[in-house]
Amino acid sequence: MSSLDEALAPELERLQVGTLYRHVRRLEPADGPRAVLDGRSVLIFGSNDYLGLAREPRVVDAARKAAAEWGSGATGSRLTTGCFGLHADLEQEIAALKGTEDALLFGSGYLAAVGTIPALAGKGDLILSDALNHACLIDGCRLSRAEVRVYRHGDAAHARELLADGASFRRRLLVTDGVFSMDGDLAPLEALQEFCEETDTWLMVDDAHGTGVLGATGAGTAEHLGLSGQVPIQMGTLSKALGAEGGFIAGSRVLIDYLRNRARSFIFSTAPVPATVAAARAALRFVREEPERHTRLREISQRMRQSLRELGFQVPSGDTPIVPVIVGEASRALRLAEGLEERGVWVPAIRPPTVPEGTARLRVSLNASHTDADLERALAAFHALR
Ligand SMILES: *Cc1c(COP(=O)(O)O)cnc(C)c1O
């Protein structure tokens, strides 16, 4: 064994003993919210394709046409050779959805976070961060070299406390998920926005799971909570409800122009491929023109929560298509996930370190293209494993 493998192998073994070892499952395509997994057709209750747009023929067709017209790759960073009209049009459409002056596209949501946070805060600045924020926000905070203070999950009063000596910092930034990805709950944006305004703290909301899903027009968590136009730094991804790939920041003309010049993950990384940009544009059209997809998603999410609870599972309340079934021990979560899979229902088990110790869970995600029969099948499988 090389010294490299020798150093790494014991760490892998430790993960296996603790049932925290992960491996990547190989899927083959099937119709709608289904896939073939190890030769077995399964219903997927774990994807982030909330509106069922990743497989919508008109979205796929837009991707195909863009590849034919613009080529398979973007050929460079946007600042050099990679800025196609297609990308600029998508940015305007994102800004329109979010109600901001402008928007900036990144290669992924992750890249949007790790580029934006260090561009806005550095040494001598303070960042307040929710304890359950997504890893990309955490990594963005670490890269920034600002002082980072973590407030208890969803606790605006605690965030305010941690800001007591905030005036001694040059800048203050508060970062939070809009919808928390492993719990499906919402940030207390109203309270956060209020004290951010009072204390001149910049508010950044990562709305990866809210965009296209929450709010009357699908604009996201801020719209859902009646705070349209009041979140100055709005981050999102094209990879969830929009079924494509890429991330973005929406905000004022000055913010976006600044990020174009300062966000390293924008400057030094190739622009998203034309096919994915075109797919996202087509998906946005569905968000604008087919609100019945939201309505369906909302309806089946509530039904799933309610029915799982009636079966005796521990399911927190919420407004989102992320329905966590809290089971506690990682080994129990794995056993349940295996049992569901044997019954043709694929739900991911989420274990530490993704979630805190003792709160391992199954994370059920709904998709607007799940039929009533799909829901029945999933519930029957849960019933059998109760
Ligand atoms: C998925 C996710 C991201 C990352 O987005 P990608 O486009 O997949 O890189 C960022 N933040 C949150 C809250 C997410 O759930």
Q: Is the pLDDT of residue 24 over 90?
A: no
Average pLDDT of the residues of the chain: 95
SS (H, E, C) the chain: CCHHHHHHHHHHHHHHHCCCCCCCCCEEECCCCEEEECCEEEEECCCCCCCCCCCCHHHHHHHHHHHHHHCCCCCCCCCCCCCCHHHHHHHHHHHHHHCCCEEEEECCHHHHHHHHHHHHCCCCCEEEEECCCCHHHHHHHHHHCCEEEEECCCCHHHHHHHCCCHHHCCCEEEEEECECCCCCCECCHHHHHHHHHHHCCEEEEECCCCCCCCCCCCCCHHHHCCCCCCCCEEEEECCCCCCCCCEEEEECHHHHHHHHHHCHHHHCCCCCCHHHHHHHHHHHHHHHHCCHHHHHHHHHHHHHHHHHHHCCCECCCCCCCEEEEEEECHHHHHHHHHHHHHCCEECCEECCCCCCCCCEEEEEECCCCCCHHHHHHHHHHHHHHC
Mean pLDDT, residues 97-113: 98
Q: How far is the CA of 139 from the centre of ligand 1 (A)?
A: 12
Atom 8, ligand 1: which residue's CA is nearest?
109
Mutate to test the pocket of ligand 1, among 133, 239, 248, 266 (most ligand atoms within 8 A of CB): 239
Which protein residues are within 6 Å of ligand 1, measured from CB? Answer: 108-110, 134, 136, 177, 181, 206, 208-209, 237, 239, 247
Give the confidence band of 108 by pLDDT, cuts at 50, 70, 90: very high
Q: Which of 18-27, 44-53, 123-132 has the lowest mean pLDDT?
A: 18-27
pLDDT digits (tens, 9 = 90+) for 346-382: 999 999 888 889 999 999 999 999 999 999 999 999 9
Which of 87, 98, 134, 209 is flagged as catalytic? 209
Percent of the chain having pLDDT more than 90? 87
In the chain, what percentage of residues exceed pLDDT 70?
100
Asked if 240 is an active-site residue, the reply is yes
- For 210-235, the pLDDT digits (tens) are 999 999 999 999 999 999 999 999 99
**Atom 14 in ligand 1: residue holding the nearest Cα:** 208
Catalytic residue among 181, 265, 301, 369: 181
pTM for the structure as a whole: 0.95
Q: What is the pLDDT of residues 290-325, one digit of tens each?
A: 989 999 999 999 999 999 999 999 999 998 999 999
Nearest CA to ligand 1 atom 10: 109
pLDDT tens per residue, range 134-164: 999 999 999 999 999 999 999 999 999 999 9
How far does the centroid of ligand 1 lie from the alpha carbon of residue 208, in Å? 6
Atom 2 of ligand 1: nearest residue by CA position: 208
